[in-house]
Amino acid sequence: MKKRKFMALALSCVMVCSLAACGGKDTGASQPEPAPAPAPAEKTDDNAASNADADSQTPADTSADASQAADITLWTYPVGSWGDAATVSGMISNFNAAYPDIHVTVEYLDYTNGDDQINTAIEGNQAPDLVLEGPERLVANWGAKGLMVDLGDLWTDEAKSLIYDSVQNACKSNDGVFYEYPLCMTAHTMAINRDIFEAAGALQYLDETTGTWTTENFQKAVQAVYDYGQKNVGAVYCSGQGGDQGTRALINNLYGGTFTNAEHTQYTANSEENIKALELLKSMDGINFDASIAGGDEVNMFCNGTFAMAFCWNATQEKNNTDQGNINFDVLPMAFPSETGEAQLCGGIWGFGIFDNGDPAKIAAAKTFIDFMANDEKQAVESVKASNFWPVKDLGDIYEGDALMSEYAKFIPYMGDYYQVVGGWAEARTAWWNMLQQVGSGTDVKTAVEEFVTTANAAASAQ
């Protein structure tokens, strides 16, 4: 199926989803170009695919011989149930039914010290063969350092014809080398406490069907909720980088600003639009800059009713917190407000990369593993559902009957540019929350933002 068909599928899915029930989380973490056919997904054990009978698996076409023999290691970050040993073991059993001589050992990482574990392994010449994560690490970090294998041979003409353009762009370096083969994606949203908004008479300022609103109506809604008595409507959290995709999307969308240039070579957050957005947020009743919390704290405070809205949100957040009994109100997911009402949402992309450990047999086996997990007709559905996110190409409606995932599918077409592959990304994320703290403590907005851009661009040019 060619890309132009994706748009039709995406739009038809949005129309269907507008009739579905309400339904969000962030891992860690996307103009809407034509989006891949939204087949809802996100991170939860409930959404993890039941492991199909191994005998029913059909090997994917691959350049590697099915009889190849190798012992390889896969290190996986907790991307949905790819962090669950039972789920991953089941998928590896499917793989071994097709490739019995490739033995896969798995190490499960977390986002607290996973990077340290991999960096230590690199320094000791013991890097894993395979890693499941996103372009920020696979492309912009380890790939940029020359540590990863070029996966160009997996990116066949057919693969390029099926996979969403901005996903392709995120998976390759500025000089065109593919260091990642993608599996799944999501669009991060915000959310409101619908019960409070209804009581405050603020629902009139948003479109519940499309989950969109304008900047002007966002201001009116926040003021209405504040006047109703909910003094903490929302918070620009900034104690660290956790959940910073939410604050970036909020500020970039309000007046159409950008975080980087289109070439992903320079940070542009010092635009007039972003300065205007920060000044607006600083002036609004009910919106506070809070240097004591990060994204995860904001989620908890939204779920317990402290805040009436959350900027760090997606379908997994709602699924997990609902399953844990943390939410006793109606959550309404929303796109970030913009002047036109058409948002550019930050997205997450996850897939596989291969460290170049100098062993051709292991590299070939690792490519065979990727091809099977991402391209085998039956296994690819299981692999994506295990992530609890959406596929990067059309796999059909893999979440048919799941009301929550269908509700969030309508946001996939709003995915904007995946800019998280700019050089100096780690330094820029630190500089971002430092900048927000400065604005919150009274520093002139333009001064604080210029300092951020200077710091971030210095880090980008140093790479």
**Per-residue model confidence as pLDDT tens digits over 93-106:** 999 999 999 999 99
Cα 416 to the center of its chain, rounded Å: 11
Tell me, what's the pLDDT at 111? 86
Range with lowest mean pLDDT among 34-43, 158-167, 192-201: 34-43
For residue 110, give both structure tokens.
């977390």
Which one has a higher pLDDT value, 41 or 184?
Answer: 184
- The pTM of this model reads 0.78
Give the distance, in angstroms, between the CA of residue 249 and the centroid of all CA atoms in the same chain.
12
CA atoms within 13 A on the CB side of 182: 30
Cβ atoms within 10 Å, residue 325 = 8
Once rounded to an integer, what is the mean pLDDT over residues 252-276?
Answer: 96
pLDDT at 316: 86
Mean pLDDT for all residues in the chain: 87
> Residues 283-304: pLDDT tens digits?
999 999 999 999 999 999 999 9
Average pLDDT over residues 126-144: 95
Give residue 40's pLDDT.
32
DSSP letters, 43-83, are S-TTTSPPPPPGGG--PPP-SS-TT--EEEEEEE---GGGG
Structure tokens belonging to residue 431: 């500089």
Q: What's the confidence (pLDDT) of residue 155?
A: 98
Average pLDDT over residues 67-86: 93
Say what the pLDDT of residue 48 is: 34
How confident is the model at residue 65, as a pLDDT? 56
pLDDT at 41: 33
Mean pLDDT value of segment 81-108: 97
Give the pair of three-digit tokens for residue 343.
């948002």
Residue 202 has pLDDT above 70, yes or no: yes
Spatial neighbors of 376 by CB under 8 A, at least 6 apart, are 57, 58, 59, 60, 98
Beta bridge partners of 313: 189
Average pLDDT over residues 242-255: 97
Rounded percentage of the chain residues whose pLDDT exceeds 70: 86
Q: Residue 426 carries which side chain, given as an amino acid letter? A: A
- Reported as a pLDDT band with limits 50, 70 and 90, residue 68 is confident
Q: What is the pLDDT of residue 463?
A: 73
DSSP structural state of residue 348: E
At 158, the pLDDT band (50, 70, 90 cuts) reads very high
Taking the C-alpha atoms of residue 21 and residue 405, their distance in angstroms, rounded to an integer, is 9
Which residues, 6+ apart, have CB-to-CB distance to 94 below 8 Å? 51, 52, 54, 57, 379, 382
The pLDDT confidence band at residue 34, using thresholds 50, 70 and 90, is very low
In this prediction, residues 212-220 reach a mean pLDDT of 98
pLDDT at 124: 97
What's the chain's Rg over C-alpha atoms? 22
130 SS3 class: strand
Give tens-digit pLDDT for 395-454. Answer: 989 999 999 998 999 999 899 999 999 989 989 999 999 999 999 999 999 999 999 999
Residue 452: in which H helix or E strand, if any?
A: helix 445-462
The DSSP code sequence of 402-443 is: -HHHHHHHTTGGGB----TTSTTHHHHHHHHHHHHHHHHTT-
